[in-house]
Structure formats: structure tokens, C-alpha cells
Structure 1
Amino acid sequence: MNVAITENPTNDYRAAMQQSAVAFLLRHRGEHLTGDDQVLQNCTRFLAQSLEVPAHLVQRIAELAVSEFEGMTTKRLTLLGVHPASGAFRPTLWLLDTQTQQRHQVPARYLPARLQQHPRNTSK
């Protein structure tokens, strides 16, 4: 399976490492159960040992990669839209957890790039 490159990894170290981690998880997706803590542990180990990512970046990159991986494989998170009370320069998005049917208000900067492509209001 080919992984679409969403950002230019030559200019962004974190994006390159996240894409590598997602590719690793996709290659080994038969070994993991969705929502299992072992997915995060394996991703963290891969980043630290194989790619030699600095310790202060490993956990954050692993969490983003696991989030993107689970979104690609389970479609558990669905973007509902931009929260009406969010600011123009710091958007907050509404996400729906399709398993629990709970809505979560999340700052856009915490989400992987594929979820930050929020729909624009075209009703005008």
C-alpha cells in the first residue's frame, strides 16, 4: 500500500518521521489490534531504535502516527466541522468518535494533517 505524502518531508523533520512511522504501522498492521496500547509501543520503539529520533520528539510523533494509522484503518474519527467559538487564527475542530458517539473539541494543531483539511462553508 502506498502512503500519500501530505507534506514535503525534506523541509519538515517531524512530518518525515511521522510518515515513516505510519508506513511502518501499515506494513505491520496485521500484528496490531485497533486501540491496542501495543501499537503505540511498537511505533515508539521503531522511531527510537530504527530511525534514531531524539527522545524529546518520539512520544509526540508516535502519537500522531498512531492517530493517523487508526484513522486510515478504522475510520473511527470523523470530522464534524469547525467549532463556532474557535478563533480565526487558532481553529478548534469538532471530532466524532464513531465507536462511543462522543464529540470532542480539539485544537487543529494537535491533529494529523489529513484531519486538518476541514470543510469550508460553501452555503453562502
Structure 2
Amino acid sequence: MSQIVMENPQQYRVAMQAAALAFLERHQGQHLDQEELAERTTRHLVEALDVPTFMASRLVHLALSQLHNGAEWVGLDLAAGPDEHLVILVDTDSGQRALIPRRILSDAFLAQAGAR
């Protein structure tokens, strides 16, 4: 067992959660669904870093929360609407799209979305 575990269990958990978060960030773009990504990350912690399975799954859950904390969950597609009075909101997690009237969005919000 690693020296860090013996000296400070909290420090060990923080370090292993950081390792899980780093793995998630590196592999999230591989178009895996969230459950597959979580399983793969858990397997990485267990096999590569010798984290106990019960702890690895909990650390992955916490790291996933960190990963999605503050992440954009909605996008705005200004060009895809059928006319200039409609825009499409996009749920970036699920890919679902919703057509909404442009008039209900503030000019500042539209300007910021157009700048991206």
C-alpha cells in the first residue's frame, strides 16, 4: 500500500479523485456515453492505480460531478432555424434540440452566443 495512504487518507482520496478527473477529461471526447466512460475510468483507477473498487466508483462519481460542474449544458444554434425569428436550443449532453422564438432571448444573450 502506498505511503500516502498510511500518512493521510484524505490526501489519498483527493489525489485519486484528481486522477479520475484527469482521465475523464482526456477521454470524454471519445464519444462514449457517460456510463461507459464512468466504467472505463473506474477500471483505470482499479487496474492502474490499485484503488479499491468500492472507493474507485465513488471517486469517479465525484469526479464526474466536478467535470460537469459549470460545464455548458445548452448551446444555441442561430443559423439552423427555419427563419430569422427562430433559433434552436441544443442540450449538449443529449443532443436534443428545441426550436424557440428569438424574441424571448435577450439581445445580450444572443450577442454573446453569436460571438462563440
> Rg bigger for which structure?
2
- What TM-score results when the alignment is normalised by the length of structure 1? 0.45
**Structure with the higher fraction of residues in helix conformation:** 2
TM-score, normalization by structure 2: 0.48
